[in-house]
Amino acid sequence: RKEVEQDPGPFNVPEGATVAFNCTYSNSASQSFFWYRQDCRKEPKLLMSVYSSGNEDGRFTAQLNRASQYISLLIRDSKLSDSATYLCVVNGANQAGTALIFGKGTTLSVSS
Amino acid sequence: SAVISQKPSRDICQRGTSLTIQCQVDSQVTMMFWYRQQPGQSLTLIATANQGSEATYESGFVIDKFPISRPNLTFSTLTVSNMSPEDSSIYLCSATLLTAENPPYEQYFGPGTRLTVT
């Protein structure tokens, strides 16, 4: 089983749509979870950290299910500018600065 | 967040030569890392750059091929040695801020160095 698995997509949606991405991870000891966004030919940028209670930042909502080792990202009211690759990222054990394990990314294309 | 700069931003090199990539962070950081992203792939960790000591390499990466230095908290270099076309990739530096005492230990990335080996 791969350490972090994502549906690669692509997800092609119209503006205003709601889209959800899912991710599973294999290391049950992982403590930190993130969604990063990567635009073409750019570096990954932190979109949001994912907390056990779930968290929301504007149109973006992240959920974590530790029992199922499952992470999700919901994007509401999609904008053209949301088009990018979304990377599910998991930290290792509870240790400061442990390197990140990246999923292969889910590609989103929002069209007008 | 942190501002991370890398140079060069891109280079085209001949096989058999070496290239050193520099990474500078504008904040005090705890950890620095070097990643590689090959075309169409996600990021793969090369090593953790340890201040004042040898880097910690991941499986499949060795010091002779990717020597790393980190002389202080905010600066690190990665050298890609004896390059071959298979080393063509984007190399990214990342850092965790010193103030990140508890999870989630967010990491920030430099803009990357796009290397092409001919």
pLDDT of A1: 59
Determine how β-strand A60-65 pairs with β-strand A70-75: antiparallel
Residues 6+ apart with CB under 8 A from B29: B2, B73, B74, B95, B96, B97, B98
* pLDDT tens for the 112 residues of chain A, in order: 578 999 888 999 999 999 999 999 998 888 889 999 999 989 999 999 998 888 999 999 999 999 999 999 999 999 999 999 999 999 864 344 467 889 999 999 999 9
Q: Are A33 and A91 in contact (CB under 8 A)?
A: yes
A53: how many CB neighbours lie within 10 A of its CB? 7
Least CB–CB distance from A104: residue in B1, B42, B107: B42
Q: Are B95 and B32 in contact (CB under 8 A)?
A: yes
User: How far is the C-alpha of B29 from the C-alpha of A26, rounded, in Å?
Assistant: 28
User: How far is the C-alpha of A97 from the C-alpha of B94, rounded, in Å?
Assistant: 10
Question: Two tokens at A28?
Answer: 């049950």
What sign for the dihedral angle of Cα A50, A86, A82, B96? positive
Element at B116 (helix H, strand E): strand B113-117
A66 shares contact with chain B (CB less than 8 Å)? no
DSSP state of B73: T
**Chain A residues inside the 8 Å CB shell of B105:** 32, 91, 96-98
For residue range B32-86, list pLDDT tens digits in order. 999 999 988 889 999 999 888 889 898 899 999 999 999 998 999 999 999 999 9
User: How far is the C-alpha of B81 from the C-alpha of B46, rounded, in Å?
Assistant: 14
Give the CA distances from residue B29 to residues B4, B84, B97, in Å, rounded to whole numbers and listed in that order.
Answer: 11, 32, 4
Least CB–CB distance from B105: residue in A32, A41, A102: A32
